[in-house]
Structure 1
Amino acid sequence: MDRLNLRHLYYFWVISREGSIVRASEVLELAPQTLSGQLTTFEASVGGLLFQRERRKLILTDLGKIVLGYADDIFALTGELNETLRLAPAERPLTLSAGVSASIHKLIAYYLLQPAMVLDRPVQLECRTGGTEDLVLSLKRRELDVVLTDRTPGQDDQGSFTVHSLAGSSISLFASAHLARRLKKGFPESLNGEPLLANATNAPYFERLMNWFSLKGVRMNVVARIDDSALIKVFGREGLGVFAAPTAIEDEVCRQYEVEHIASIDEVKDELFAITRSRNFTHVGVRAICEKRGNF
């Protein structure tokens, strides 16, 4: 920034738009000689000519085209900022940066974020998915306002954040119609040796499900490990195996992926949390998310 004078950049931008120093000077209410001098100063600071003069016309040089591209972006954002600042504080868009653990089903992620999207003021949501550890690190760096996850922070981070219990649901098993109808008879023993589509994101509910299988003496055949909850359901729809999902979204899973419900397992729960930097909410969107608790 020590070399870039934004006022000079603005003068250059107006000259580019108007096509001549004379017309630009009228817009800027400056004498043409003054504006020409400012342009010369700016060219010296960027280290090259921004215009070539051909028959009284100003033609952008290659350097000028590069600078103009950045200037267009800068002053487009400046215009948006001016429009925003003209609004009353309560009418200004509120930016909410949320991290969502990749192991959370996307429909449930929507349900968790939805309270922040129906506030009395507009909200601009920036949503990032990933591993909980990486998202918590971004929260610590203040790149995120909240992290939605299915697990609590590691021991080293527990004193740095506040964990809010959000919601819970039992887990259900689903499969293609032909497979589901066969497996409903004699459940859970009917699952022995059957293909299972496993969650590869180490989702806590999946570990609990595998423990439940062990307690029931059920041994399924893991045919795929997939880290995308939507892709697991597509594989299940095509008859490649049984998959697990929260019972709370049973109807939507069956409708969207054309599968059938096999059974619900009340002993296996999917628990979700919001992680924030502080117990005191300064962000109304985060407050709306954290205050909506209970089942889905």
Structure 2
Amino acid sequence: MPATAAQSSPGGDVAAFNYRHLYYFWVVAKEGGFARAAQRLDMAIQTISAQVRELEKSLGHQLLKPQGRGVTLTEAGDVAYARAEEIFQIGQRIPQEVMQAATVPTIRLSVGLSDGISKLAAHKLLGPALQESQLKLVCHEGEIEQLTAELALHHLDLVLAGQPAAHNSNLRLSSRLISSSDVGWFGPSQWVHKADVDQFPQSLSRLPVLLPTAHSPLRASLDRWFDELQIQPRVVGEFEDSALMSVFGAGGLGVFPASLIGRDDLSLMKGLKLLGQSEVKEEIYALYTRRSSHHPLVQSILQTAQA
């Protein structure tokens, strides 16, 4: 347990804050009195009392007040106790977590997923990493600007996005196209009938359609495709997250586009049928840094995609 830490007071002065004093206060508050705390800590009551007084002096407020044969918390003490409870509860977990980390080898892979790309396709592309038995996978979703900033700071090992990284000499990021897959249209059986399949893609003008939001590169490609075919889709929903769009589509809201590279995973959603295949392709880029390119799982993902 650290003995002291520097803490800025509201006036700007730096006061010494002693975590050992905080620990004694925490035990006294949990035990309801100095006598029981002294018995638990195997220390003299006077020593513990002096330590708690030092804590109150450093904080500038009384934390405990007498109640019967014991003590109770003041309002200021309630606040201090709540924070001390968080600190020391976490501290009690440290030995177990350290032991677990030391005895169970893991290979950590932190991946950022741009919110506009197909999550089913991303799952497929991460397949080589998922075969690692000691894998600890951490996935973050967000906008590409946020994810590339995290990648540049080495908080992420890899980012999958629908576009390459913007040129920025300060970030020093590399991009590689790892997937260019045809986009199919899927929907629940209540919307996908033989006539709709036969008349695809014109049938999209009368069926309820779900689309990615405008920030997605795929949406721009779909809009151009609609314009070329002079189709006015009946849009009933727009989604930033492609996985959420698939869930609502499978639930009956409408038909939706999905990269065919993730078609196998769509089979997990019962009742979905293929309406048709468009001429639109969804491109997915892998973004990485020079350092993260040496990560064995990043290398495996890139090499598999290239092959």
| Fold conserved between structures, TM > 0.5 | yes
Kept in 2, the 8 Å contact 1:10–1:71? The answer is yes
* Closer, same or farther: CA 207–254 of 1 in aligned 2, 3 Å: farther
What residue is the counterpart of 2:45 in the other structure? 32
Aligned equivalent of 1:161: 173
The aligned residue for residue 219 of structure 1 is 231
Please state how far the C-alpha of 1:37 moved relative to its aligned partner.
0.8
Alpha-carbon displacement from aligned partner over 1:178-202 (angstroms, at most 9, x marks no partner)? 5432221144455566654321143
Partner residue of 2:60 out of 42, 47, 53: 47
TM-score by length of 1: 0.79
1:206 aligned partner = 219
Give the whole-Å Cα distance in 2 for the aligned partners of 1:251 and 1:42. Answer: 61
- 1:222-253 C-alpha deviation (Å, 9 max, x unpaired): 42451233453466457665421111333543
Deviations 1:18-69 (A, max 9, x none): 3332333344343322221111101111121221122321212222221111
Equivalent residue, structure 1, for 2:88:
75
Distance in 2 between residues matched to 1:67 and 1:50, nearest whole Å? 8
Contact 2:165 2:174 in 1 (8 A): no
Distance, in Å, in 2 between the alignment partners of 1:26 and 1:122 is 46
Tell me how many residue pairs correspond in the alignment: 292
Decide whether aligned partners of structure 1 residues 280 and 130 sit closer, same or farther in structure 2, where only a CA change above 3 A counts: closer
Q: Give the aligned residue type for 1:171.
A: V
Residue in 1 aligned with 2:141?
129
- 1:103-138, CA deviations, whole angstroms, 9 ceiling, x for partnerless residues? 12334444455655664446263x332211222223
Deviation larger for 283-292 or 44-53:
283-292
Equivalent position of 1:61 in the other structure: 74
Q: What is the alpha-carbon distance in structure 2 between the residues aligned to residue 205 and residue 171 of structure 1?
A: 9
1:158 CA drift (Å): 8.7
- Distance across 2 between alignment mates of 1:53 and 1:220: 76
Instruction: Give identity over the alignment, percent.
Output: 30
Report the CA distance between 1:150 and its aligned residue. 1.8
Distance 2:190 2:43 in 1: 78
Structure 2 residue corresponding to 1:152, chosen from 146, 164, 169:
164
2-side partners of 1:29 and 1:89: how far apart? 32
Match of 2:192 among 158, 161, 180: 180
In structure 2, list runs of 5 or more residues that go unmatched: 7-14
Corresponding residue for residue 271 of structure 1: 283
Query: What is the CA-CA distance between 1:93 and the residue it aligns to?
Result: 6.3
For 1:272, give the aligned amino acid: I
Letter of the structure 1 residue corresponding to residue 117 of structure 2:
I
Q: 1:52 to 1:99 in 2, by over 3 A?
A: same
Unmatched tracts of structure 1, length 5 or more: none
